[in-house]
Amino acid sequence: MSLTTFLAELDGLIQELEKDLDKASSISQLEEVRIRYLSRKGRLAEVMKGLPKLAPEERPEAGRKANEIKEKLSSLWEAKKRFFEQKEKEERLRDFDPTLPGRIPPVGTLHPITLVIEEVSAIFTSLGFEVVLGPEVETDFYNFEALNIPPEHPARDMQDSLYITDKTLLRTHTSPLQVRTMLAKKPPVAAIAPGKVYRRDSDLTHSPMFHQIEGFLVDKKVTMADLRGTLTLFLHRVFGSETRVRFRPSFFPFTEPSAEVDISCVMCGGKGKVAGKTCRVCKETGWVEILGCGMIDPAVFKMVNYDPEEYSGFAFGLGVERIAMLKYSIGDLRIFFDNNLRFLKQFV
Ligand code: DAH
């Protein structure tokens, strides 16, 4: 074979390939063309078989040319392939209707309990309180002992508390956060502690798990007037400024003196009757109990190494479900934990 014939055969491949590419009308036909020309047994490989038959001095030039042709064949083929891909994409887009309404992902709502915790937290943080959190599995020390709750106190009874071991239990209130926070910080401190609490209680108005928010403030010369002013402001913000607030003497082991706070009934406005009938919320008394509070007992200060001669403080604890029920006029506590979407979606 002569060099001229070899080179002419190589050149001829270009035109042949171009013709076949023109004829190809689908990706699969295009693939057939690739195999026909560029595979190991294709046309190019066949022509290359002539290379060893050339005179040795002709081979370098023939080899160079062969490579050039191979590149050219490949790039012609690639160009056609890109053309097909583009066409396919355009066809797909033609079937796409951009005027169709989008699929809107369902958006969740915040649980009413979360909403109340957020509202109460916002009110107290605006007054300079910080939000602190603590463990739900608590020790006897933080839950009872450091809060001046004596060993024989009924709250410590297995009947009321959910114990995990002798000395650990699910916290029965958020008050342990008073102790934890005071042990960690020097006064002045002002904090609120929202969270889940647990008791052996389950009926229409009690759930074994519910939520409380603890609050407390310690500084020099804190008095009951500060407690009264702070809680009145808070209750006016949550229930409206026309709400009346009253303090009743009470008892808690960790406060002295202690009080329970009532607000005028949110349902009947304190009148005791709605449309001539007994108000179902206050049972005609005109008042509803809303929280417990008091001045922190010196015995608690001693437990956290605060000097009761130098510092004084107030504390309070409220039930989140109770506030949510009054605020949103909900009659049944269990509805908070049923996870009924028709109920939950009303709280946006
Ligand atoms: N820990 C009390 C309870 O669960 C609520 C409470 C009452 C908290 C008075 C306080 C307080 O901080 O001063 O019933």
pLDDT for the residue numbered 253: 95
The answer to whether position 293 is within a domain reads yes
Tell me which residue has its CA closest to atom 13 in ligand 1: 293
Give a yes or no: residue 43 inside a domain.
yes
Final residue in a domain of this structure, among 94, 125, 157: 94
Residue 204 has pLDDT above 80, yes or no: no
Question: Which range among 74-78, 202-206, 214-218 has the greatest average pLDDT?
Answer: 214-218
Same domain, 38 and 121: no
Residue 146 and residue 40 share a domain? no
**The last residue of a domain, from among 94, 128, 158:** 94
Within this chain, do residues 58 and 119 fall inside the same structural domain, yes or no? no
- The pLDDT of residue 153 is above 90: no
Residues of the chain with pLDDT > 90, as a percent, come to 79
Tell me the C-alpha distance between 11 and 3, whole Å: 12
Is 247 a domain residue? yes
Q: Which two tokens stand for residue 249?
A: 């003497």
Q: What is the DSSP string of 102-116?
A: PPPPPPP---HHHHH
83 Cα–ligand 1 center, Å: 76
At 81 the pLDDT is 94
Which of 175, 212, 258, 293 has most ligand 1 atoms within 8 Å of its beta carbon, as the pocket-test mutant? 175
| pLDDT of amino acid 98 | 86
Residues 199 and 244 occupy one common structural domain: yes
CB 173 within 8 A of CB 209: no
What pLDDT score was predicted for residue 197?
97
103 part of a folded domain: no
| pLDDT tens-digit series, residues 180-192 | 999 999 999 999 9
Residues 156, 68 share a domain: no
The reply to whether 65 falls in a domain is yes
What is the mean predicted confidence (pLDDT) over 318-347?
92
Our answer on whether the CB atom of 176 is closer than 6 Å to any ligand 1 atom is no
Is the domain of 86 the same as that of 116?
A: no
Write out pLDDT tens, residues 230-260: 999 999 999 999 999 999 999 999 999 999 9
Mutate to test the pocket of ligand 1, among 144, 169, 173 (most ligand atoms within 8 A of CB): 173
Instruction: Please give the residue range of the domain that contains residue 165.
Output: 112-347
Q: Are 85 and 155 found together in one domain?
A: no
Token readout for 176 is 């342990």
Residue 127 Cα distances to 40, 214, 230, angstroms: 82, 15, 9
**Lowest-confidence region among 2-6, 164-168, 174-178:** 2-6
pLDDT tens string 62-110? 899 999 999 999 999 999 999 999 988 988 888 888 898 988 898 889 9
Mean pLDDT of the chain: 93
* Residue 151 preceded by cis peptide, ω within 30: no
Tell whether 83 and 229 lie within a shared domain. no
Residues 157 and 284 in one domain: yes
- Give the pLDDT score at 332: 85
SS3 194: strand
Residue 196 has pLDDT above 90, yes or no: yes
Residue 154 CA to residue 156 CA, distance in Å, equals 5
Q: Which amino acid residue places its CA nearest to atom 5 of ligand 1?
A: 317
- Structural domain tally of the chain? 2
Task: Based on the fold, state whether residues 247 and 151 are members of the same structural domain.
Answer: yes
User: What pLDDT does residue 152 have?
Assistant: 86
135 lies in a domain? yes
The minimum-distance atom of ligand 1 relative to the CA of 215 is 12
Segment 280-319, tens digit of pLDDT: 889 999 999 999 999 999 999 999 999 999 999 999 999 9
Indicate if 132 and 270 belong to the same structural domain.
Answer: yes
Predicted TM-score (pTM) of this structure: 0.72
Quick one: 237 and 279 in the same domain?
A: yes
Domain presence at residue 290: yes
Cβ(322) to ligand 1 under 6 A? no
CA of residue 152 to ligand 1 center, whole Å? 18
CATH code, domain carrying 143: 3.30.930.10
Confidence of residue 203 (pLDDT cuts 50, 70, 90): confident
Q: In this structure, how many other beta carbons lie within 10 angstroms of the beta carbon of residue 324?
A: 22
292 lines ligand 1 (CB under 6 A): yes
For residue 252, how far is its CA from the centre of ligand 1 (angstroms)? 7
Residue 339: left (phi > 0), alpha (psi -120 to 50), or beta? left
Identity of the highest mean pLDDT range in 35-44, 308-317, 329-338: 308-317
Question: Does the residue 137 lie in any domain?
Answer: yes
255 in contact with ligand 1, CB cutoff 6 A: yes
Ligand 1 binding pocket includes 319 (Cβ within 6 Å): no
pLDDT for 27 beyond 90: no
Q: Is 315 in the pocket of ligand 1 (CB under 6 A)?
A: yes
The predicted pLDDT at position 201 comes to: 86
Q: Which of 64, 94, 124 is the last residue of a domain?
A: 94
pLDDT of residue 95: 85
